[in-house]
Structure 1
């Protein structure tokens, strides 16, 4: 048995103990990976939930998972391990409806369409329901051209590929005016001089 298949077998056994503990605490077990690292193993547990995950949440889940591993220590073996509990990173692919729901409002790159004709788009996730995802698809254009407004597009689950969240810097908040009027600045300066 190779080291990789041995690690997979251990991960499967650990998932039986860890998944109920994580779910009882109110989280989803997104990933469980066991990686051999010399004489020890690294047990990486990725958790998430709709309201997000804080550092306090990570500590809570870490204590609960550690207790479950300690309770099954004889079954797990005497080999030392390092437990890492974390939340998914921004680079995690969006593959499940809950992933899409948790990223409503975010900009994503996604393939849309049947397997033989997938169209790659950049879009903002606007709504998620039982039928699929509504996306505000960004219009493509030439650099420097006037930007056209996004097109709303309802995409059924069977036509939605896995998405990736796009990192945005300086994204305006709701209700923020993104186009400053230079005349406003001039009026402010003029008002101050006349008094």
Structure 2
């Protein structure tokens, strides 16, 4: 399935660059009996539905011209914004998230916990520092990036 993701990434990138949009993520997944090709896009100020439709239409046209078909099975194409809780994948995502409230899930527990939410204080290639709240006390924790299964922006309640 990674070849589908790579092919779609190569096809959609010029469309997005032309519009000054950012590619957040491409995924090709089976849910139940159906396949979904999801393309998450963004830009400063957010993406609207017309912009998603524009990218969907142009990407669909490009996919239809490729022979042999890179995606032989039937699938649903979804182009959307990553939403308020967008994933943090690239270095630029982490840079934009400095000082923001984020959610991380870990592969291995740290201090007995596998999930943390807090403010991203700093990061480098190997670690990130989160300011978390434990009851009424604030504490900074350092997390090894190789232990992070998923990271995303979070909404603080």
Structure-1-length-normalised TM-score = 0.53
CA contact (8 A) 1:111 1:118 kept: no
Greater share of helix residues, 1 or 2? 1
- Structure 1, unaligned runs of 5 or more: 1-7, 142-146, 170-195
**1:17 aligned to 2:7?**
yes
Match of 2:66 among 63, 72, 77: 72
Q: How many residues align?
A: 149
Structure 1 157/117 Cα, relative in aligned 2: closer, same or farther at 3 Å? Answer: closer
Mapped partners of 2:71, 2:121: distance in 1 = 47
1:84 aligns with 2:78: yes
Deviations 1:47-105 (A, max 9, x none): 24574740244234213311211212652578765421123245666455444344333
Q: Which has the higher contact order (CA 8 A, sep 6+)?
A: 2
RMSD: 3.9
CA–CA distance in structure 2, aligned partners of residues 37 and 116 of structure 1? 31
Structure number with bigger Rg: 1
Q: How has the CA–CA distance of structure 1 residues 84 and 77 changed in structure 2, closer, same or farther, with 3 Å as cutoff?
A: closer
Cα deviation per residue 1:145-169 (whole Å; 9 max; x = unaligned)?
xx33x33445442354533543225
Q: Kindly report which structure 2 residues correspond to 1:23-172, keeping only aligned pairs within 5 A, or say none.
A: 23-24=13-14, 25-26=16-17, 27-28=22-23, 30-35=25-30, 42-48=35-41, 51=44, 53-55=46-48, 56-72=50-66, 75=69, 81-89=75-83, 94=88, 96-110=90-104, 115=108, 117=110, 119-120=112-113, 121-138=116-133, 140-141=134-135, 147-148=136-137, 150-169=138-157
Partner Cα distance (1:155, 1:78) in 2:
41
Q: TM-score, normalised by structure 2?
A: 0.62
Q: Could you say if the C-alpha distance between residues 153 and 52 of structure 1 is closer, same or farther in structure 2, counting changes exceeding 3 Å?
A: farther
Aligned to 1:177: none
